[in-house]
C-alpha cells in the first residue's frame, strides 16, 4: 500500500500490525499504510539499501500465495455452484479459477499491496531496473501475464490444434511453440488453402504438442535452474515485467540466508542427461527407420501380407520345437491379435498385452472378454514366463 521508501528496514512495527487484519501471525514488517491513491509513482527515488529476497523466501511466499488462492478458488467454486448449478460450474471451471486468481491479484498486487504470501515472508515487489515501486501499468501487466496469459495460451493452443486438424491451414508461417503466436494467429483472416499452407498446417498439428511438451518440461526446468542460481525471477510473468523482490526484515544477528544453488546445479545436470538420452534415442530411431525402410521398399499390401504370413509361419516353425499351434493361439492377445507382450491379467483372469488392455480400460472399465468390471488400477502385469 505504499512505496518501500517509506519503511526503513527495521522500523514501523507498531503502526501496521493492528491494521493488518487479513494477515498471518508473522513478525513481518509491512510497509506503512496509506491510501492507495496517495502512494507510488511520485515516490522519491533515493537509493534503497535493502537486500534482494533470497530463493527460499520467494518460494515460501509463492507457496503461501497458492495456498490462499486455492482457498479462494474453492470458495468461489462453491458460490458458483450454489448460484448456477453444478453443471455450469463444471463447464466453466477453468474460467472460474482464472476469475478467482484475478480477484486475488487485483486485490493485492494491483492495488499496490503485498500478497499474503509476500507479506508472510517480508518481501516486496520492486522494479528491477530502477529499484522503485512498480507503477500501476507495470503491476497490471504483471497480473495480466501471471493470470491471463496462461489461460489464453492454453485455450489458444487448443483452438489452434483443433483448427489445424481438419482441412486448410489458415496460418502460413509461424513458430508454433511461441506463446503469443497461438493467440495472435487466431485473428488472421482465412485464406485460400495452398499446398504450402496445408503443409504448414500438418507441421503445426504434428509439432505443436511436441513443442508444448518441450517447453513445459525443459523450458520450465531451465527457468527454474536460472532462478535457483540468481534468485531473481521465480515466475515467467515476473521475468517479463521485470519485477523482483526485496527483503525488508531485519535479520537477527547470526541468522544466515541460504540460497538454492545446489538445486540449480541438479536441474542443469538433469537437463544435460535428458538431452544426451534424447540424442541417443534419435540416433537409434534413425537407424531403425533406415533398416525398416530398406525392408519395406517396393512392397505392395499383398506382398506385405505374404511377408507377414511367412513371418508368422517362421515363428511357428521356430516354436514348433516346444509347443503346438494351439498353444501359440493361447498366447495371443485378443485385442491386437499378436502374441502378448507384457502379459497383464484382469481380476477376472483374462490375459492381454499391457498396452492393449490399458488403452481399452481407459475407454471402458470392463473386461473385453467377459464384461466384468475392471478397475484400471487392478490390472496386474505378470512377470512370470507363462508357457
Partner 1 sequence: MSTAVHRRMLKEYLAIQKNSATRPHLELLEPIQEDDLLHWQAILLGTADSGYEGGRFRLDIVIPTSYPIQPPTIRFLTTICHPNVHFKTGEICLDILKSEWTPSWTLESVCVAISSLLTNPEPSSPLNCDAANLLRCGDMAGYNSLVKMYTALYAMDEDQE
Q: How far is the CB of 300 from partner 1 (least distance, A)?
A: 7
Residue of the chain from 182, 232, 356, 374 that contacts partner 1 (CB under 8 A): 356
Q: Of 273, 338, 349, 382, which lies in the binding site for partner 1, with binding defined by CB under 8 A?
A: 338
User: Binding of partner 1 at residue 335 (CB under 8 A)?
Assistant: yes
Q: Which stretch binds partner 1 (CB under 8 A): 111-119, 199-207, 233-241, 303-311?
A: 303-311
Q: Which C-beta is closer to partner 1: that of 310 or that of 320? A: 310
- Residue 305 makes contact with partner 1 by CB under 8 A: yes
Tell me which stretch binds partner 1 (CB under 8 A): 20-28, 100-108, 134-142, 302-310: 302-310
Least distance to partner 1, CB of residue 124, Å:
54
User: Which of 262, 359, 373, 376: binder of partner 1 (CB under 8 A)?
Assistant: 359
Report the residue number, 273 or 370, with the smaller CB distance to partner 1.
Answer: 370
- With binding defined as CB under 8 A, does residue 345 bind partner 1? no
3-state secondary structure the chain: CCCHHHCCCCCCHHHHHCCCCCCCCCCCCCCCCCCCCCCHHHCCCCCCCCCECCHHHHHHHHHHHHHHHHHHHHHHHHHHHHHHCHHHHHHCHHHHHHHHHHHHHHHHHHCCCCCHHHHHCCEEEEECCCCECCCHHHHHHHHHHHHHHHHHHHHHHHHHHHHHCCCCCCCCCCCCCCHHHHHHHHHCCCCCCCHHHHHHHHHHHHHHHHHHHHHHHHHHHHHHHHHHHHCCCCCHHHHHHCEEEEECCCCCCCCCCCCCHHHHHHHHHHHHHHHHHHHHHHHHHHHHHHHHHHHHCCCCHHHHHHHHHHHHHHHHHHHCCCCCHHHHHHCECCCCCCECCCEEECCCCCEEEHHHHHHHHHHCCECCCCCCECCHHHCEECCCCCC
* The one segment of 31-39, 155-163, 181-189, 368-376 that binds partner 1 by CB under 8 A: 368-376
366 forms part of the interface with partner 1 (CB under 8 A): yes
Q: Is 297 in the site for partner 1 (CB under 8 A)?
A: no
Contacting positions for partner 1 (CB under 8 A) = 300-302, 304-305, 308-309, 312, 334-338, 356, 359-360, 363-364, 366, 368-369, 371
Amino acid at each position: 500500500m505504499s512505496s518501500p521508501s517509506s519503511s526503513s528496514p527495521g522500523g514501523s512495527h507498531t503502526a501496521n500490525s493492528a491494521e493488518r487484519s487479513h494477515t498471518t501471525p508473522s513478525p513481518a514488517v509491512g510497509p506503512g499504510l496509506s491510501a492507495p491513491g496517495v502512494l507510488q509513482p511520485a515516490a522519491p527515488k533515493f537509493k534503497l539499501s535493502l537486500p534482494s529476497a533470497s530463493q527460499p523466501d520467494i518460494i515460501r511466499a509463492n507457496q503461501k500465495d497458492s495456498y490462499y488462492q486455492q482457498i479462494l478458488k474453492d470458495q468461489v467454486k462453491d458460490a458458483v455452484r450454489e448460484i448456477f448449478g453444478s453443471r455450469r460450474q463444471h463447464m466453466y471451471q477453468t474460467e472460474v479459477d482464472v476469475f478467482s486468481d484475478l480477484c486475488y491479484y487485483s486485490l493485492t498486487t494491483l492495488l499496490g499491496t503485498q500478497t499474503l504470501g509476500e507479506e508472510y515472508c517480508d518481501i516486496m515487489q520492486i522494479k528491477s531496473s530502477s529499484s522503485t515501486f512498480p507503477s500501476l501499468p507495470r503491476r497490471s501487466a504483471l497480473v495480466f501475464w501471471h493470470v491471463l496469459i496462461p489461460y489464453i495460451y492454453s485455450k489458444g493452443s487448443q483452438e489452434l490444434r483443433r483448427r489445424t486438424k481438419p482441412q486448410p491451414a489458415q496460418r502460413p508461417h509461424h513458430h508454433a511453440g511461441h506463446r503469443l503466436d497461438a493467440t495472435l494467429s487466431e485473428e488472421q483472416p482465412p485464406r485460400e488453402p495452398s499446398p504450402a499452407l496445408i503443409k504448414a498446417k500438418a507441421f503445426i498439428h504434428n509439432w505443436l504438442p511436441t513443442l508444448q511438451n518441450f517447453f513445459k518440461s525443459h523450458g520450465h526446468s531451465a527457468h527454474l535452474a536460472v532462478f535457483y542460481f540468481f534468485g531473481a525471477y521465480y515466475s515467467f510473468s515476473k521475468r517479463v515485467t521485470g519485477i523482483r523482490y526485496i527483503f525488508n526484515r531485519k535479520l537477527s544477528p547470526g541468522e544466515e540466508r541460504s540460497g538454492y544453488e545446489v538445486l540449480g546445479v541438479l536441474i542443469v545436470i538433469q537437463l544435460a542427461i535428458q538431452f544426451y538420452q534424447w540424442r541417443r534415442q534419435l540416433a537409434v530411431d534413425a537407424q531403425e527407420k533406415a533398416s525398416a525402410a530398406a525392408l519395406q521398399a517396393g512392397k505392395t499390401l499383398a506382398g506385405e501380407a505374404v511377408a507377414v504370413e511367412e513371418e508368422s509361419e517362421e515363428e511357428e516353425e521356430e516354436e514348433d520345437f516346444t509347443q503346438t499351434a494351439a498353444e501359440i493361439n493361447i498366447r495371443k492377445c485378443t485385442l491386437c491379435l499378436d502374441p502378448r507382450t507384457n502379459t497383464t491379467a484382469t481380476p477376472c483372469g483374462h490375459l492381454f498385452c499391457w498396452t492393449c488392455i490399458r488403452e481399452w480400460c481407459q475407454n471402458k472399465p470392463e473386461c473385453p472378454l467377459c464384461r466384468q468390471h475392471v478397475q484400471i488400477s487392478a490390472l496386474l502385469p505378470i512377470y512370470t514366463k507363462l508357457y
